[in-house]
Amino acid sequence: MTKTPRELAETMLGCIDKGDWAGVLAITSPDYVVHEPPELPFGGDWKGQDALIRLFPHVWSYWDDVVVDRLGILTDENYFCLQLRMTMTSKLTGNRISTSLAETTRCVDGLMVEYTIHYHDCALVAREAGPPRPGAGRRGGDP
């Protein structure tokens, strides 16, 4: 039996909490894509089943003391949306910032296929993160 979007969300979050990236891969489509806002230094399309595995450490490399508060999960038959608040310290400026996020995931046949991230204050995140860093591996493993 295939997982519902809510079950996928709960499985993904549980796997991330445990550092179980094999568990994340098991619920991710081979054609998976994560869309980060293009104006961010880690922005763009991160493609491939391992996109989250490459994206997380790259995004976290801009911040210290990251705290992610999970505010809710909204679902329908094809999507789940995570409502989050991220609070973090910029490695560039030392400023402690906080912003809300909505992360929307499209699901097909019990797999996550597309993940779009919306920051409430994208300009703040971009300013505090600073310039892009090399080696992001955004597009299917390119350096």
| Rounded-to-integer distance, Cα 69 and Cα 51, Å | 22
How many other C-beta atoms can be found within 10 angstroms of the C-beta atom of residue 133? Answer: 12
- Token pair 């922005």 is found at 43
Tell me, what's the pLDDT at 133? 78
Tell me, what's the pLDDT at 134? 73
| Rounded-to-integer distance, Cα 58 and Cα 36, Å | 12
Q: What is the mean pLDDT of the chain?
A: 92
- Residues, the chain: 143
Tell me, what's the pLDDT at 142? 41
Contact present, 36 and 110 (Cβ < 8 Å): no
Q: 141 or 28: whose pLDDT is higher?
A: 28
Tell me, what's the pLDDT at 141? 43
Read off the pLDDT of residues 94-127 as tens digits, 9 standing for 90 and up. 999 999 999 999 999 999 999 999 999 999 999 9
Read off the pLDDT of residues 4-14 as tens digits, 9 standing for 90 and up. 999 999 999 99
Alpha-carbon torsion 101, 71, 60, 34, what sign? negative
